[in-house]
Amino acid sequence: MARIRFEALVAEALDEIPKKFRKLIDNLNVMVEEDCPPGTNLLGLYHGVPYPHRSPGSYGNYAPDVIVIYKRPIESISRSDLDIKDHVRDTVLHEVGHYFGLGEAELREIERAVREQRRGESR
């Protein structure tokens, strides 16, 4: 998939985050890189101080938190452009969850519920 289309999918996934959460996102950069770091098998990565751990009113003075979405790893587990779109959406949601301080167990439960909802919508 062309990088510009992949980046558009990332932007679409961010736009799909419910407004009540989107309006809380501050000082965050989301970027696309071709590959994950050597020796890792990541689809995305969040770097920063999770939202619940920030001091009120002072976080704007720091460098932005960063979410990186890795293009090739997502493409490698996808069989179609629709699969890529779904994996991008899931990965963005997962990393934004880390931004909000959610741990892996909580995120897995949310992801399971989202998958079940999608299955119900496709029927």
Q: Where do the domains of the chain lie?
A: 3-54+61-121
Look at residue 60 in the predicted model and tell me its pLDDT: 60
Structure tokens, 62: 């720091």
Q: Where are the beta strands (DSSP E) in 16-100?
A: 28-33, 44-47, 65-70
pTM (predicted TM-score) = 0.90
Burial code (b: 16+ CB inside 10 Å, e: under 16) for 47-76 equals: ebeebeebeeeebeeeeebebbbbbebbbe
Look at residue 116 in the predicted model and tell me its pLDDT: 86
φ, ψ dihedrals at 30, nearest 5°:
-115, 125
- 3-54+61-121 CATH pick, 2.30.30.240, 3.90.420.10, 3.30.2010.20, 3.30.70.360: 3.30.2010.20
The mean per-residue pLDDT over the stretch 99-122 comes to 88
Strand, helix or coil at 104? helix
pLDDT at 55 over 90: no
Per-residue pLDDT band at 50 (split at 50, 70, 90): very high
pLDDT at 86 over 80: yes
pLDDT at 122 over 80: no
Angle formed at CA 49 by CA 43 and CA 57, multiple of 5 degrees: 140
The mean per-residue pLDDT over the stretch 43-55 comes to 90
pLDDT at 28 over 70: yes
Percent of the residues in the chain that have a pLDDT greater than 90, as a whole number: 75
CB-CB contact of 63 with 29 (8 Å): no
Residue in 102, 120, 99 with CA at minimum distance from that of residue 110: 102
φ, ψ dihedrals at 33, nearest 5°:
-125, 150
Look at residue 23 in the predicted model and tell me its pLDDT: 93
